[in-house]
Amino acid sequence: MDNQRKASNLIHTEDWLSVWIGVIIIAIGSVAVLTGWFDFSALSFKTWTVGEVLSDKDASKVVPLLQQISSWAFWRKTLVTILVLGTLFGAGVKLQGEKLRKFIPAFLALFVIAVVVRIVSAEFTLKRYLEWAFWALIIGLLISNTVGVPKWLKPAIRTEFYIKTGLVVFGFSVLFSNIAKFGLYGLGIAWGVTPLVILFMWWFGNKVLKINNKPLLITLSAATSVCGTSAAIATGAASGAKKEDLSVAISISIIFTILMMIFEPMVIEWLGMGQIMGGALIGGTVDSTGAVVLAGSALGPEAEQVASLVKMIQNILIGFIAFFVAIYFARNVDHTGKSSVGAGEIWNRFPKFILGFMVASVVASIIFVPAFGAEKTNAVNKVLGAYKDWAFVLAFTSIGLDTNFKQIAKSMQGGKVLWLYIVGQTFNILLTFAVVWLLLSGHLFPTPDIKTFDDKEEKVMEKREIRAAKKELKMKEEAERAEVDFVEAESQLEGAAEEAAEGAK
């Protein structure tokens, strides 16, 4: 019976389904690029303007919007993107026991909103200030907090599902050597800080703020220190939190995730921390895993990988935290002496998309690069990157649509929980910064060398250029030797001719 339940979980739970969908996208994208049999490119938009006067360099990158949307390639890629994402996520929803007839029209509407987001974010001036992820949040928030979200659209608002799938696909672009090199640093940052933040917030909420709602207190503490929604759901279940408590914790986490995702990269750049330290700080302090990747990408490719690695390592703690919270609450808060969460729940609550992320990284780094080369692997990554972006834009549009400020304001409970988050997150940022500086500043430990597939491609091109230069030099030397030999031979012939002439006389 237990084996049947485990087998069922593999195809009926969101965590595992996000892994399978990510794997399918990676497999199709790889076949398309490596064989050239078909074009798997997803829809994307080039920069366009509404009449700005641009320099020749900027103007050369601009393609009028009307020209883009009137081309056959635009509609073909739109159809491919809708069919791929709609079919895969639709199958995932169906396997979770939901109704397709409700999901499909809702998903099509969400996709249309996402297309509007991508169009807006590709405009030259708007693109200079905010990336598409922020416009997804802004447009979603505008809809949610003005006209409201219709009931029929809600079946497609599946933030976690889209983010987890996008992260599995993103794993293909992360060199496994980076995971190996950064593993101990990530453990020090994520596992060293997280338990201390939870303990500090628990103490501060109990002793200073006098919060009586213990399940809400521990749920918000876990959401702040680990990864927002996922940690809140797992810890809330372990502590017996009510639905309203869970809603409050998730709402506060989402609001500050949005703010930190926008402003933390700006502050890091202003401080001049660099990509490695900046990415590690983002990974340890921004709540949502998807937001971590996007905030890291604002600093650069190395920061994106470091931020995601720290957050992935931190996410591993979810199952352990839920397990210990359940035991503590059973013995010290509820006084039942029994825990509803057994040791097996550590695995059940473990985020399975992390496994998908790791496997994708191993396959790309250990199989694809040696077999097909960094250049081909990078070509696959460019195709997959577009699908990762679409998964994230669907996720962040969903976050905006699912966030209503009026409802959040009503649930703040006198402001104590808001102060708990602000003080706890401030402590989290300061402590994480201290540990990041200790481990990654280069003063005490060597700074890990983080590489991307672009780096590998550059090395391949550099080696090719060196080989070409050596070949050219060799050919030049051979030509020079041949010329010397020719001159010597010519001289010898002239000498022989002169001797023959002298002999004839």
| Residue 499: predicted pLDDT | 61
Judged on CB neighbours under 10 Å (0-12, 13-18, 19+), 332 is: exposed
Residue tagged 């060398």 (tokens): 449
Confidence of residue 457 (pLDDT cuts 50, 70, 90): very low
Identify whether the C-beta of residue 326 lies closer than 8 Å to the C-beta of residue 238: yes
Residue that wins the pLDDT comparison between 2 and 298: 298
Selection from 213, 214, 253 nearest residue 230 by Cα: 253
Confidence of residue 481 (pLDDT cuts 50, 70, 90): low
**Residue 345 clears pLDDT 70, i.e. is over it:** no
| Residue 387: predicted pLDDT | 95
Choice among 11-25, 408-422, 455-469 with the minimum mean pLDDT: 455-469
What is the spatial distance between Cα 63 and Cα 374, in angstroms, rounded to a whole number?
A: 30
Most confident of 5-14, 245-254, 342-351: 245-254
**Residue 112 clears pLDDT 80, i.e. is over it:** yes
Selection from 135, 142, 108 nearest residue 120 by Cα: 135
Identify whether the C-beta of residue 320 lies closer than 8 Å to the C-beta of residue 349: no
| Residue 12: predicted pLDDT | 82
Choice among 1-10, 176-185, 212-221, 485-494 with the minimum mean pLDDT: 485-494
Confidence of residue 61 (pLDDT cuts 50, 70, 90): confident
| Residue 462: predicted pLDDT | 45
What is the spatial distance between Cα 246 and Cα 256, in angstroms, rounded to a whole number?
A: 16
CB atoms within 10 A of CB 193: 24
Most confident of 139-153, 438-452, 480-494: 139-153
| Residue 496: predicted pLDDT | 56
Question: How far apart, in Å, are the Cα atoms of 493 and each of 304, 403, 502, 504?
Answer: 70, 93, 14, 16
At residue 48, what are phi and psi to the nearest 5 degrees? -135, 170
Residue that wins the pLDDT comparison between 228 and 161: 161
**Residue 261 clears pLDDT 70, i.e. is over it:** yes
**Residue 255 clears pLDDT 60, i.e. is over it:** yes
Residue that wins the pLDDT comparison between 329 and 344: 329
Residue that wins the pLDDT comparison between 28 and 501: 28
| Residue 211: predicted pLDDT | 85
| Residue 215: predicted pLDDT | 87
| Residue 294: predicted pLDDT | 82
What is the spatial distance between Cα 214 and Cα 245, in angstroms, rounded to a whole number?
A: 10
CB atoms within 10 A of CB 300: 18
Confidence of residue 473 (pLDDT cuts 50, 70, 90): low
Q: Enter the tokens of residue 369.
A: 């690069």
Whole-prediction pTM: 0.78
As a dihedral over the C-alpha atoms of residue 116, residue 117, residue 120, residue 121, rounded to 10 degrees, the angle is -150
Residue that wins the pLDDT comparison between 142 and 258: 142
Choice among 4-13, 203-212, 277-286 with the minimum mean pLDDT: 4-13
Residue tagged 């352990």 (tokens): 320
Q: What mean pLDDT do residues 51-68 have?
A: 82
Mean pLDDT of the chain: 82
Share of the chain above pLDDT 70, in %: 83
Question: How far apart, in Å, are the Cα atoms of 87 and each of 92, 341, 442?
Answer: 9, 35, 48
Share of the chain above pLDDT 90, in %: 33
Confidence of residue 461 (pLDDT cuts 50, 70, 90): very low
Which residue ranges make up each domain of the chain? 2-144+153-451, 454-505
Please report, in angstroms and rounded to a whole number, the separation of the first and last CA atoms in the chain.
116
Q: Enter the tokens of residue 422.
A: 């602000």
| Residue 459: predicted pLDDT | 45
Most confident of 2-16, 79-93, 263-277, 321-335: 79-93
